[in-house]
Amino acid sequence: MSRIRTPVPPFAAFEPGLSKFEKLATQDPRIRAMVSATVSGRLDEACALLNAMLELSGTSVQVRRVPEGWALTTTDAVESAAECVSSLAHLIATDGWRRIKVCEKPSCTQIFIDRTNGSIRLYCDSHRRSADRQGTLREP
């Protein structure tokens, strides 16, 4: 019985990240869940968990399944989740929470940042425009 030889990864090139991963894996439940999925053979689930952690970390790198195995891709999203929450944190530290709003049209759940001088905006972009056309601010 012969073993199939696969190339050995350049482990040194992945340090110190891999060593940190081994330390974190015992503490971080997300990494534990990913490893659990991995060793159970649920690789697409493991990949989804890894990609979620990558997105939260603010990196644009993702892993995806390809016919030859796995490949790195870069997301084309300009703003990562980390950039979004970082910008939000700066806004809150500058002006508090009052500008984070949900459209007041009853059928709408759109979230928006109120950028008006007096923080008086009530509606999302699409419903604010219809309110302007009808000449009323309260009834879009």
Neighbouring CB atoms inside 10 A of 123's CB total: 22
| Residue 103 found at the interface with Zn ion (CB under 5 A) | yes
Task: Select from 108, 112, 114, 131 the one that contacts Zn ion (CB under 5 A).
Answer: 108
Q: Alpha-carbon distance 13 to 4, whole Å?
A: 24
Asked if 121 is part of the footprint of Zn ion (rule: CB under 5 A), the reply reads: no
Binding flags for Zn ion, 52-91, as an x/- string (CB under 5 A): ----------------------------------------
DSSP string, 80-136: -HHHHHHHHHHHHHHH-STTEEE--STT---EEE--STTS---S-HHHHHHHHHTT-
Exposure class string for 60-72: b at 16+ Cβ within 10 A, else e: eebeeeeeeeeee
Task: Name the residue type at position 92.
Answer: I
CB of 123 to Zn ion, least distance (A): 5
Interstrand relation of 111-113 and 100-102 (parallel, antiparallel or unpaired): antiparallel
**Residue 127 interacts with Zn ion (CB under 5 A): yes or no:** yes
Among 50, 105, 121, 122, binds Zn ion (CB under 5 A): 105
Looking at the Cβ atoms of 47 and 103, the one nearer to Zn ion is 103
What would the x/- binding string for Zn ion be over residues 31 to 50, using CB under 5 A? --------------------
Question: Contact residues for Zn ion (CB under 5 A)?
Answer: 103, 105, 108, 110, 124, 127
